[in-house]
Amino acid sequence: MQFGVSTFVWFSPFDTKALDLVYKVKDMGYDILEVAVEDKDLIDWAKLKQVVRDAGIKVTISGAFGAERDISSDDPRNREQGLQYITDCVRIAADMGSPVFGGPVYSAVGKTRIVSAEQKQQEREWCLENLVKAGKIARECGVTIGVEPLNRFETDMINTADQAISLVKEVGDPNVKILLDTFHCNIEEKNIPDTIRKVGKDLLCHIQGNESDRGTPGTGHLDWAGINDALVEIGYDGAIVLETFGAPSKELARAACIWRPLANSADELASEGLKFYKQQFSGSSQTAAK
C-alpha cells in the first residue's frame, strides 16, 4: 500500500513558492504528494516535476470545484469552464505521472438546494454530457477520473456510493471510476467496509483516508480495521491519501465548513497520520496478493 498526503494539509492554494513541501513530505516517509489544483497557473509544473523527480516521490492530482467549474450548471459558461478545467487537470496528471485525477467533478462544492425533479434531471444530463467528453480525454491521456461522493452539507448531487456507481455506469467509460473519501462515507454510508466491497476493485480507483472529524487518522471513531479488511478483500492496489485542511482559503473553508483547527499543527497531523496508516495498513498489499 502506498501512502500520500494532500497539499491541502498545509496550503490553499498550493503554488510554486511552496515546492519545499515536496521534500518535507518525502522526509516524513510518504510515498505520494497529492497536489490540489486550485489555480494551475500558480504552479510551475516543469519545476515541480523536477523537484519531485529529485526527491524520489510520486504525485497524484486532485481538483477544487467552485461555481465557475460546475459541469452541471445552468450557466453554459460554467459548464464549458468546468470541462476545460477537468481537461487541463487530466493533462497535468498525465504529464506528472499521476494515474488519477479525482474530486467532485460533477458539480460545485457547496451547491446544496432543493430543486424540482425536472431541474435535477436536466443537471444530470449536462453532467453526463460533459463527463463523457472528459472520459474520452482521460482515455487518450491514460488517466482515470475519480468521481468523489461528498456529504449532504457540501453537495446535493452525489452523496453516496450508490449514486456514484449509477452515474459512472451511465457514463460508461472505463476511465471514469470512483474515489471514496472515508470522511464523507462516515456521514452518508451505513457501513464503510461494505461500501468499499460494493464499489469493488473494478470501480474503486483512489482512497482518501480521512478521520470522522477530518482530523488526524486514528483519533476518531472510524472502523479502520474494517476498512483495511475490505480493501484487502477486494484486492485494492491503489493509494491511500490523507486529505484535510490545515490553512484553507476563505472560499474552501466556506465550502467544506472548516471553522476550527483540525489538529495542533499541519505537520503533526501529517506525521501522526502516516504513523497510523503504517500501523493500520501494514502488509495490506501482500495479504491481498495471496
Catalytic (active-site) positions: 148, 243
Q: How far apart are CA 248 and CA 258, in angstroms?
A: 8
- What CA–CA distances, in Å, run from 55 to 6, 12, 89, 141, 272? 16, 22, 22, 25, 21
Q: How far apart are CA 189 and CA 242, in angstroms?
A: 19
> Are β-strands 144-147 and 100-103 bridged in parallel, bridged antiparallel, or unpaired?
parallel
Site of grid cell 487518450: 140
Residue 245 DSSP SS3:
coil
- What CA–CA distances, in Å, run from 259 to 60, 96, 125, 154, 221? 27, 33, 34, 14, 20
Q: How far apart are CA 177 and CA 28, in angstroms?
A: 30
Asked if residues 138 and 100 have their Cβ atoms less than 8 Å apart, the reply is no
Site of grid cell 461528498: 150
Residues pairing with 228 in the sheet: none
The secondary structure element, H or E, covering residue 92 is helix 76-96
Cα-Cα-Cα-Cα dihedral sign, residues 132, 130, 257, 162:
negative
